[in-house]
């Protein structure tokens, strides 16, 4: 494979008919163009041009090679234009992964508005809670709920994740409203098994950080499923407000121990570090930030 710059010099000589005209097009000296063509001929082991003091013509080999050079350079120019256009305006296909609950409840419903703003863009979205290798799997953006972040990725904070202790009005009327975290010993506490600390709930209150042991008759590894059990009146649970916000606003659930706010996580948009972030990635992340930050709609009264 020959240097594209040498091929470009040769193609310009053929198109313009002289070394001097090619040099003007390329913004270099005549001798630089002549040397480039000579280097190309040496590398190929064939004469491309017949030279005289007044006339320049292609050899048979030179004519065949010029046709391919022109085609290759056209493709290279088109490739540069494609890259430039994709970086300048959001277009093409954006490959996104999002966690199951947040992606289903909040990212997916937002896509109609986002795609309406960008008619030349499409989205390929995967909803999953498994770990995603962006480089290996070709994802542009991953939307994740996290407390700690991978060091090799760039993270943009989208929204806070607050867990609120809640139950149905009927459950609280029957069993009483807990006033302090220690009151939870008297309640059926439904546990989220992916928290990493089964049987121990953490709060932050006027006295600082508090960890209280709890027990209950149900443990579930999915927050959405857990919210359905709470809505059924089974007991109390610590649930993300991005899942139960609408239920709290509608009165189907009531908050308890609101003065003791559990430790927050955040929703992040994660992407690979790059000096030139594609326009489609930047537009998508900016859209999510504007939609969810700084005061998420699910946390509003």
Distance CA 298, CA 237 (A): 18
Q: pLDDT 10s digit of each residue in the chain, 301 long?
A: 457 788 888 888 888 888 988 898 888 999 999 999 999 999 889 999 988 767 788 899 988 898 888 888 777 777 776 666 555 688 899 999 999 999 999 999 999 999 999 999 999 999 999 999 998 899 999 999 988 888 899 999 999 999 999 999 999 999 999 999 999 999 999 999 887 678 899 998 888 899 999 999 999 999 999 999 999 999 999 999 999 999 999 999 999 999 998 767 899 999 999 878 889 999 999 999 999 988 899 998 7
Radius of gyration of the chain (CA): 32
- For domain 163-256, give its CATH number from 3.40.50.720, 3.40.50.300, 1.10.10.10, 3.40.190.10: 3.40.190.10
**What per-residue confidence (pLDDT) applies to 53?**
67
Q: Which fold has domain 92-157+269-299?
A: D-Maltodextrin-Binding Protein; domain 2 (3.40.190)
92-157+269-299 and 163-256 share one CATH topology? yes
Architecture of domain 4-88 in CATH? Orthogonal Bundle (1.10)
Q: Whose CA is closest to 44, among 2, 14, 12?
A: 2
**Spatial contact of 176 and 186, defined as CB atoms under 8 Å apart:** yes
The tokens of 204 are what? 């932050």
**What per-residue confidence (pLDDT) applies to 250?**
96
Q: In what order do the strands lie in the sheet with 237-240?
A: 237-240, 163-167, 254-256
**What per-residue confidence (pLDDT) applies to 192?**
92
The tokens of 213 are what? 């042991």
**Spatial contact of 28 and 18, defined as CB atoms under 8 Å apart:** no
**What per-residue confidence (pLDDT) applies to 275?**
77
pLDDT digits (tens, 9 = 90+) for 204-227: 888 889 999 999 999 999 999 999
Q: Where are the domains of the chain?
A: 4-88, 92-157+269-299, 163-256
The CA dihedral of 182, 187, 193, 195, to the nearest 10 degrees, is -30
**What per-residue confidence (pLDDT) applies to 287?**
97
């Amino acid at each position: 494979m020959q240097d594209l710059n040498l091929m470009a010099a040769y193609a310009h000589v053929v198109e313009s008919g002289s070394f001097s005209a090619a040099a003007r097009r390329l913004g270099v000296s005549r001798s630089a163009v002549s040397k480039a063509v000579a280097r190309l001929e040496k590398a190929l082991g064939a004469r491309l041009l017949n030279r005289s003091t007044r006339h320049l013509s292609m050899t048979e080999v030179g004519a065949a090679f010029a046709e391919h050079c022109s085609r290759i350079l056209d493709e290279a120019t088109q490739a540069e234009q494609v890259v430039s256009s994709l970086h300048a305006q959001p277009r093409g296909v954006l490959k996104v992964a999002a966690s199951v609950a947040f992606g289903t409840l909040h990212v997916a419903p937002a896509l109609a508005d986002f795609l309406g703003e960008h008619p030349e863009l499409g989205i390929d979205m995967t909803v999953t809670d498994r770990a995603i290798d962006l480089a290996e799997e070709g994802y542009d953006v991953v939307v994740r709920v996290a407390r700690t972040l991978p060091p090799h990725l760039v993270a943009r904070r989208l929204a806070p994740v607050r867990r609120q202790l809640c139950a149905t009005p009927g459950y609280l009327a029957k069993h009483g409203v807990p006033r302090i975290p220690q009151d939870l010993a008297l309640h059926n506490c439904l546990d989220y098994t992916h928290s990493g600390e089964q049987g121990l709930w953490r709060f932050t209150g006027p006295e600082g950080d508090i960890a209280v042991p709890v027990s209950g008759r149900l443990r579930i590894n999915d927050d959405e499923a857990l919210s359905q059990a709470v809505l059924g009146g089974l007991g109390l649970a610590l649930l993300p407000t991005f899942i139960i916000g609408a239920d709290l606003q509608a009165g189907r659930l009531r908050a308890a121990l609101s003065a003791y706010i559990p430790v927050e996580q955040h929703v992040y948009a994660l992407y690979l570090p790059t000096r030139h972030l594609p326009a489609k990635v930047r537009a998508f992340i900016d859209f999510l930030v504007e939609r969810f930050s700084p005061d998420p709609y699910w946390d509003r009264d």
